[in-house]
Amino acid sequence: MEKNTAAAKAAEKFDALVTAQLERVERMKAQKDFVDYAALPTIIIGVCGGDGIGPVITDEAARVLEYQLRDEVKSGKVEFRRIDGLTIENRAAQGKAIPDDVLAALKECHVILKGPTTTPRAGDPWPNIESANVAMRRELDLFCNMRPVKVPEEGIDWTFFRENTEGSYAVGSMGVNVTDDLAIDFVVTTTQGTERIAKLAYDFAARNHKSRVSIITKANVVKTTDGKFLRLCQDVGRQYPDITTDDWYIDILTAKLIDPARRRDFQVLVLPNLYGDIITDEAAQFQGGVGTAGSANIGKRYAMFEAIHGSAPRMVSEGRAQYADPCSMLRAAVLLLSHIGYQEKADKLERALDICMYEEKKYTVTGRGTGCTCSAFGDYVMETIARL
Ligand code: IPM
Ligand code: MG
């Protein structure tokens, strides 16, 4: 009897989740095309600092962007807007992943530069609210998480297209504790959600003269959702006859990325949310760690650019925040510039970062007093841009 009641209660929750996902499918079907930034009178760039070292590194990246876009700001084509309130203190006080006024302010922007935010988990001093990242990706429908990793001397040039709104994340904070002994989470794959990420990955490959797209799943075990993801990506791939498609299971891909004989063969990789989360941390380690990697969260109406690492609260509690490395946010700024149509400025910033981080290395950031400060590094990057 008790078993039936627990199962019935769980089924009721499942019913609500399914209904919400079916509504989401209808919203995706009705979605308009991508924003044409060139046609906008003003592109509004929201700057949202986040927690821990977030404000320090985000302000630094914004300072460099403001320097590069000074003429556009003067002419009114670009506007920077500071958005406060995405701090863990405010989110905890309001009991919301993104407080309502912050979400409203974000929705008035076109693109957002966002610092890392602390994600609470059970046992933390904070209420166990949903991740601000995950909520923002969902609320702004940022379905593509594009994460480039490059190590030129190793021949590594990978671009990951991580699906960003579905998979294990879609209803990640709405799993069900059926009884004290049984917990169930859900994985979601939709036709619309898969086709749009696959199309973006293949379009990127075609535009950037890449010859190969690899689809990464665990479709041999997670047959329904990963199976659908693989099949639909392959269908999209058939519309690009000049591009070779192959597919790999996530476990063997993880091994192949550290195989020097094979890893340089990968170019564009498209994969469900959780695998993309895990593998992009591994991939970033090749170019110097997550602190060096930026990411673009792209949707049709909004786009958000961020680091791939967390908020490093320990650096703040140890009084080292001013020594935080802004490179991840500066790499995110490269992606932002490119996304809104300033490719030449994006190339300049990328080139300056390569010079400052890997070639000239006049100043280095070490995260402590042994290196330069975040703002000294920002100055160095701007001086380098001016020399290009
Ligand atoms: C990332 C992060 C986030 C994620 C966390 C902070 C929720 O790890 O952007 O990769 O899991 O997506
Ligand atoms: Mg991650």
Give the list of residues 6+ apart from residue 60 with CB closer than 8 angstroms, or none: 326, 329, 330, 374, 375, 377, 378
- Nearest ligand by distance to the CA of 131: 1
Could you tell me the distance, in angstroms and rounded to a whole number, from the CA of residue 240 to the centre of ligand 1?
A: 31
Ligand 1 atom closest to Cα of 137? 12
Question: How many other CB atoms sit within 10 Å of the CB of residue 208?
Answer: 11
- Which residue minimizes the CA distance to atom 4 of ligand 1? 277
Give the list of residues 6+ apart from residue 215 with CB closer than 8 angstroms, or none: 198, 229, 230, 233, 234, 237, 245, 246, 247, 248, 269, 270, 271
Ligand 1, residues at Cβ distance < 6 Å: 119, 131, 133-134, 277, 308
pLDDT digits (tens, 9 = 90+) for 221-255: 999 999 999 999 999 999 999 999 999 999 999 99
Q: Residue 351's Cα: distance from chain center in Å?
A: 22
- Nearest ligand by distance to the CA of 310: 1
Could you tell me the distance, in angstroms and rounded to a whole number, from the CA of residue 100 to the centre of ligand 2?
A: 25
Helices and strands (H and E) in the chain: how many: 14, 12
Distance in angstroms (rounded) separating the CA atoms of residues 281 and 181: 32
- Which residue minimizes the CA distance to atom 9 of ligand 1? 308
**Nearest in space to 85 (alpha carbons), one of 97, 106, 102, 62:** 102
Distance in angstroms (rounded) separating the CA atoms of residues 155 and 149: 11
Confidence of residue 141 (pLDDT cuts 50, 70, 90): very high
CATH 3.40.718.10 fits 144-163+183-294, yes or no: yes
- Which residue minimizes the CA distance to atom 10 of ligand 1? 277
Residue tagged 């400025």 (tokens): 345
Q: Where in the chain is the domain with CATH 3.40.718.10?
A: 31-142+299-388, 144-163+183-294
pLDDT digits (tens, 9 = 90+) for 303-312: 999 998 999 9
The number of C-alpha atoms within 13 Å of 356 and in the hemisphere containing its C-beta is 30
Predicted local confidence at residue 4, as pLDDT? 75
Could you tell me the distance, in angstroms and rounded to a whole number, from the CA of residue 128 to the centre of ligand 1?
A: 16
The mean-pLDDT minimum among 41-55, 58-72, 284-298 falls in 284-298
- Nearest ligand by distance to the CA of 146: 1
Question: How many other CB atoms sit within 10 Å of the CB of residue 4?
Answer: 8
Average pLDDT, stretch 293-299? 95
Predicted local confidence at residue 124, as pLDDT? 87
Confidence of residue 295 (pLDDT cuts 50, 70, 90): very high
Q: What is the dihedral of CA 277, 280, 282, 288, to 10 degrees?
A: -130
Full-model pTM? 0.93
For domain 31-142+299-388, give the CATH number: 3.40.718.10
Spatial contact of 324 and 57, defined as CB atoms under 8 Å apart: yes
Please report which residue ranges of 164-288 form alpha helices under DSSP H.
Answer: 191-207, 225-237, 250-256, 273-286
Ligand 1 atom closest to Cα of 280? 10
Could you tell me the distance, in angstroms and rounded to a whole number, from the CA of residue 273 to the centre of ligand 2?
A: 10
- For the packed helices 191-207 and 225-237, what is the interaxial angle rounded to 10 degrees? 40
Per the document, the length of the chain is 388
